[in-house]
Structure 1
């Protein structure tokens, strides 16, 4: 059957059990802008008090929608419905093959379903397998206990704390830095790409 040129269905870059990663589309921008006007959401992302206009999110899309040597940003899609539920990716990818991870699930009703954990896993698998990263780190405000539990469940380890560097309601919280190494992380969802590899001798 010939492909329909008007078919705008998502192509999944990587798929898990419930969510997948796809390239960002311009049509995602209004939804992402709405999420970024929710002060609970932006605080959980590590930016208390921030709110982003539609124009600002359009500029961010133009800057970040393309996979680049130093970054990759993805839409997080619910596989059962094709619905945009979040975004995430890697930034500050260095020549030493280290990077920083970010993930956000937009609607409060879509959280606590494990989708943020699964999206984080898929992004790590992309980074370790396709970008040959050695180290992926995350930086989490200590008041975001749900994010800390998510990353610890994936195997991230706390490697440091910047003490009292974050403020919320005139209270100081640490910035918790966690990281994960390639040899600490089993790859579950990139099996179909193993055929790209030449078997190692011995």
Structure 2
């Protein structure tokens, strides 16, 4: 009889708790529920769409209303939300910790850590990333060929002009007040 493949216990490799240091204390943030996690994923998708093209439908706008924002931090932080309020956390700290918890829930610990280490700001790309981006753009410009004609027609090539011979005049009537070439007299 064949053995059935078994996966490792889920809790064995997931970070079960996010520890956030603030004012000398380490706050323990528990993972969000499945429904909250799904709502956060939708919220993240709306944020990405807004950043890319700025067009949001009314239902998407409601996802990020003021009332939703208050619930957002409470949902992201769980019991830690009330603990932070009881400890007198500032609004800025609550938003920073809540945003880190949101990133942890939607994109994982590494993304949350980058956000936290950057002080809540989007980190600037490192030198290698900037250089790669420049080379990619430069190479694309250098190798791009002009688009072919969409109408299927071609432009006829210009015929080379014949050189003038000695003694010809430069006017259309064939006469000139002055000769255009030197002749022996």
User: TM-score scaled to structure 2, two decimals?
Assistant: 0.24
Structure number with larger C-alpha Rg:
2
| Larger relative strand fraction | 1
